[in-house]
Amino acid sequence: MNTADQILFLLKTHGPKTAQQLAALLELTSMGARRQLDAALEKGQVAFEDSADKVGRPTRRWRLTGAGHARFPDRHADLTLQLIEQTRAVFGAEGLERLIGAREKAIEANYRMQVGDVSSLPARAAALARARDAEGYMAEVQARDDGSVLFIENHCPICAAARECQSFCRSELDIFKRVMGQGCSVERSEHLLGGARRCVYIMRAV
């Protein structure tokens, strides 16, 4: 991955950052990071916002634009949208829900196999994250002081389909709840379709 792509990846997975922060993460000079950001700005892949955090010069934070997010795969979005529209037209809303239900069962079976008989919440979440990461969700798990974990997905490779039919999002939340088991509660705290830059779930032992 070249430096330009590394900067886009960091903005995708870590959210808005200053040029100095990006430079430190990539072991670049601040000038080098700014050159990369200026090039990405010309391509429309990034934008910036200036905020007065401290006395003195405003702090400039860079973030991905829609074009920047589009650099990451969306699993053949056009074809997916066509299939959703045609399924709804031919079989109706009920037929589309049946199709999503069948997809849900297949995905759940795969995740159960990946998670296996792991008992601890962090280990189960980590196994599920590995399965999701392999599918392009850029998934990771962060432990919290209260014993819960944040299950983070920095990218949604089926975002176009989820925007067209939000049953996909409902389906995936239900799958997480069942795969994690009755001893774990799963709550979505950030949602890409709700305007957040990523999807985040809080998983707690109950």
Which residue, 175, 178, 126, is CA-closest to 152?
126
> Comparing 88 with 205, which gets the higher pLDDT?
205
Residue type, 30: S
Q: pLDDT tens digits for 158-202?
A: 887 777 777 788 888 999 999 999 899 999 999 988 889 899 999
Helix H or strand E segment including 5:
helix 3-14
Q: pLDDT tens digits for 115-159?
A: 988 889 999 999 999 999 988 899 999 999 999 999 999 998 888
Angstrom CA distances, 64 to 133, 136, 145, stand at 20, 18, 30
Q: What is the CATH number that goes with domain 3-69?
A: 1.10.10.10
pLDDT value of residue 111: 94
Which residue, 17, 45, 49, is CA-closest to 33?
17
**Positive/negative CA dihedral, 108, 112, 114, 120:** positive
Classify domain 77-205 at the CATH class level: alpha beta
Per domain, the residue ranges of the chain are 3-69, 77-205
Q: Give dist(CA 67, CA 72) in Å, integer.
A: 10
> Above 90 in pLDDT, residue 96?
no
**pTM of the predicted model over 0.95:** no
Instruction: Tell me the three state secondary structure of residue 106.
Output: helix
> Above 60 in pLDDT, residue 76?
no
pLDDT value of residue 53: 66
Give residue 1's pLDDT band: very low, low, confident or very high (50, 70, 90).
confident
Instruction: Tell me the three state secondary structure of residue 123.
Output: helix
Q: What is the DSSP letter of 51?
A: E
Q: Vertex 178, ends 139 and 88: CA angle to 5°?
A: 80
Q: Give dist(CA 187, CA 196) in Å, integer.
A: 15
Structure tokens at 40: 């990405």
Average pLDDT, the chain: 87
